[in-house]
Structure 1
Amino acid sequence: MTTNTPTRTFDDSRRWVTEGTTLLTSAIDELGVADFEADSRLPGWSRKHLVGHVAANADALGNLISWAETGIEKRMYASPEQRNADIERAATLPVDELLTWYVRGAEALEAAMGRLTAEQWRHEVITAQGLTRQAADIPWMRAREVFIHAVDLGAGITFTDLPEGFLLALADEIRAKRGLSDDDLRDVSGSLPDVAAWLAGRPHNLADAPELGPWL
């Protein structure tokens, strides 16, 4: 497998946030109350854990938007322990309360992103991994969360349901972060959704691809 570096624009990422949120929300809306207690596709996480994580992520990225908007430092999470505690707390919430948090967070993040000026999008913030990024990367960070976790929900969505442009950008990014060369990928052959799933450490249908650990 060889790839050319795909073009991912800011407008692409903003559009993918909307599309990914719609996809994930539609899948969540199809679940019954008891379905939230079932396992997601992420080891050790129920669907409640997963939805809570996506809700907490919206709040955390909203902190970065606030930082870009006001110039006052506001980190994504107070600590890794606080992040983990929020996810565990989500698993204990009544479903209606969990969904209210999820919807409120998604709507608040979208509204906050809509307020930023072109200059504010260029302001630098620091991610949960300690990386300095322009605020303009925040929509891409959110798009990854909603699209990939829509698959992780285990409610019938697969990587084949995700936009081709998103999958190209995702595969390119993960490949770079994993340090995989053309030689590493020479014998990896399959559809784009399967290759992206493999790179992300998710189930795939590639026959001879080496095992990779989870990503995101």
Structure 2
Amino acid sequence: MIDDAHDLACVRAATERLLSAAAGLDNASLAEPSRLPGWSRGHVLAHLARNADALVNVLEGRPMYADAATRDADIERDAPRPPAVQLDDVRESAERFRRTAEAPADRSRTVELRNGVTDTAARVPFRRWAEVELHHVDLGTGYELEDLPAEFTERETDFLTERFAKHPDVPATVLVSEAGHTWMTGGGAAGGPVTVEGPAAELLGWLAGRRDGSALTVRGGALPGLPPL
């Protein structure tokens, strides 16, 4: 069962970790490339702020973004801002999201995200938690996939394997972590089953497009290619 109050507390803790790390960045550091192709660290922080506002839109029944071009233009506009402005925006937008997510509402209702994707309102805080944690890693300031909370790593792996289940481009795949946790995904493409084994952080990194899977052990075929998130 989804506990959105718990997830909101996790979002808040993750946001504070990210803000503490980003507080050490100056103008030159923000302009440096992040781990996301084509994005500086400033782009990552701008995206996090605008994503918080976009999820407020989702919870209040509006389109997440006006359109893809507007989303991209807003990130480009905000990316070059000075560090203090960036951090204030991330902090203030996070607070707007928290207030909206905590407001009395039917949390079982269906909400619409980007590209026609739907979910329950109760799972929106977890989606925000994923944005904050993974983009903290993307900043490249020393926070790694291995530093993610164990609960988050397991739940995000659950989420992503569910997302790729029956995907027409992914063969049947079994993921096995070193701790013995097992997930099934894919199955929509010919081939398999392929077994992919490794540390939980490496499995998540591969699923989330943050690592190439070279540290994983693959049995029964080649490492499947995954579609972009």
TM-score (norm 2): 0.79
- More helix by percentage: 1
Aligned residue-pair number: 201
Aligned twin of 1:153: 139
- Bigger strand fraction: 2
**Gaps in structure 2 of 5+ consecutive residues:** 166-171, 175-191
State the AA in 1 paired with 2:197. Answer: S
Matched, 1:63 2:89: no
**Match 2:173 to one of 174, 177, 181:** 181
- Match for residue 45 of structure 2? 51
The residue that corresponds to 2:69 in the other structure is: 81
SS in 2 for 1:165: helix
Paired letter, 2:215: L
The offset of 1:167, in angstroms, is 0.8
Letter in 2 for 1:170: E
CA distance in 2, matches of 1:35, 1:24: 15
Q: Give 1:115 shift.
A: 1.5
Q: Percent identity?
A: 33
Question: Structure 1 length normalisation: TM-score?
Answer: 0.84
Which of structures 1 and 2 has the larger relative contact order (alpha carbons within 8 angstroms, sep 6+)? 1
Q: Partner of 1:36 in structure 2?
A: 30
Structure 2 distance, partners of 1:185, 1:20, is 34
Deviates more, 1:125-134 or 1:46-55: 125-134
1:22 corresponds to which of 4, 16, 20: 16
Q: Give me the CA root mean square deviation.
A: 2.1
Does the aligned pair in 1 maintain the 2:31–2:80 contact within 8 Å? no
Partner of 2:86: 98
- Cα distance, 1:160 vs structure 2: 1.0
1:116 to 104, 109, 121: 104
| Alpha carbons of structure 1 residues 52 and 160: separation in structure 2 relative to 1, 3 Å | same
Q: 1:191 aligned to 2:190?
A: no
The equivalent of 1:71 in structure 2 is none
- Runs of 5+ unmatched residues, structure 1: 1-6, 68-73
**Offset from partner CA, 1:160-205 (integer Å, 9 cap, x none):** 111111111111221222235325551x221111111111111366
